[in-house]
Amino acid sequence: MLVILWDPDTLLHQTVELLGSKLIPALESPERLEAILKALRSSKYELRTIEFASPQDDRRITRLLEFTSATHSPDYLQHLRDIFQTWLDAGLIKQDGHVLPECFVYPTTTGKPLRPPKDPFARAGYYAFDMSSGIMSDSYKAIVASANLASEGTDMLAGFANLPNDIDTAVALCRPPGHHCDGQRAGGYCYINNAALAVSTWRSGHPEAKVGILDIDFHHGNGTQEIFYADPRVLYVSIHGEDEFPYYTGAADETGNGDAEGTNINLPLKVGSSIEEYLEKLDYGQQKLVDFNPDFLIISLGFDTFHSDPLGHFQIHTEDYEIISRTTRHALKGIPTLVLLEGGYVIDQLGANMLSFLKGWNSG
């Protein structure tokens, strides 16, 4: 049984980014999710609305914070919560403004440990790595709601949510996405790593479990790789654009550290690669996951692989997502699976692409 989860608060985040030399409305916009919701509401699939706890529901908030803190630094999480109000109180921004970084952390030879700047204006660059990580008045609500969907979906799959045990797939319509966040800083439209939170949620009941992560967003999930690079019980497999954003990670020779050597598999492809080339990489990644035999599978699903996506693409068309999901489902059937929404910016095709993916998954 497949369930699809969303939270209305994930539509609240609407910020700006510096793309090239222009300050523009961020391409990661509410319209992305609205397009997917419209398609799902006209389909056979049931949408379940999950509204995150009110501020008075301390137990749920504490639990989510505990699981998130397993892979995210407390000072970074506090920054996400407080920075907009801090700037507002300091007169650095108006209520309808956006927090954007100015100066980023850079290497030095002093040997001194890094620490957050005292100046709150500078702090935005300490906790971010690019200019697509803006924060506005309602961003934190959306960030937490998005993260909670990943945790709630995992609960359902793990049997923590007192729901029927026939749920084997949960699709969390996370927005903002998560795979670029490394637990220390935001970037690439990502603020909390939803995949990492899902792993922590699963491990709360299955501490020795093995987890597989298949990242099929166009961009390398640098954050997910960083968080699990030395974790031998997590296998991370990523198929992504070679030499594309975030530029400094994603090479095939990045294979894991220490006991985790071999549990990080990067499968870069040239921009514009054919669906045949893509499926060859996918088949290889699937086999690695089969060999790993995970207890829990996470798919970081990005539709920015679409042939006309403005932020990078392969020669993948709507019908190809059915093939991608069907072969993945067939190879890894029987493993509880959480699908997390990541990128994808051709708004008028997002709904059709999601329906194609779900059709393939159900037929696998």
pLDDT given for residue 53 in this prediction: 64
Residue 303 pLDDT > 60, yes or no? yes
Q: Region 2-18: what's the mean pLDDT?
A: 97
Question: Is 180 tagged catalytic?
Answer: yes
When computed from its CA atoms, the radius of gyration of the chain, rounded to whole angstroms, is 19
* Backbone region of residue 271 per phi and psi (left: phi > 0; alpha: psi in -120 to 50; beta: other values): beta
Per-residue pLDDT tens over the stretch 42-67? 999 999 999 986 655 678 889 999 99
| Nearest in space to 311 (alpha carbons), one of 133, 183, 149, 189 | 189
The two structure tokens encoding residue 185: 């800083």
pLDDT given for residue 54 in this prediction: 60
Are 159 and 202 contacting, i.e. CB atoms less than 8 angstroms apart? no
pLDDT given for residue 334 in this prediction: 93
Residue in 72, 180, 220, 240 annotated catalytic: 180
pTM beyond 0.95, yes or no: yes
Domain ranges of the chain: 2-71+145-363
Are 8 and 30 contacting, i.e. CB atoms less than 8 angstroms apart? no
Per-residue pLDDT tens over the stretch 217-227? 999 999 999 99
Helices of type H across 1-89 = 30-41, 58-69, 74-89
The two structure tokens encoding residue 239: 């198929």
Pick the CATH number of 2-71+145-363 from 1.20.950.20, 3.40.250.10, 3.30.70.100, 3.40.800.20: 3.40.800.20
How many angstroms separate the most distant Cα atoms in the chain? 60
Burial class (CB in 10 A: 0-12, 13-18, 19+), 247: exposed
Per-residue pLDDT tens over the stretch 121-162? 999 999 999 999 999 999 999 999 999 999 999 999 998 656
How many whole angstroms separate alpha carbon 190 and alpha carbon 217?
13
Per-residue pLDDT tens over the stretch 108-120? 898 888 889 999 9
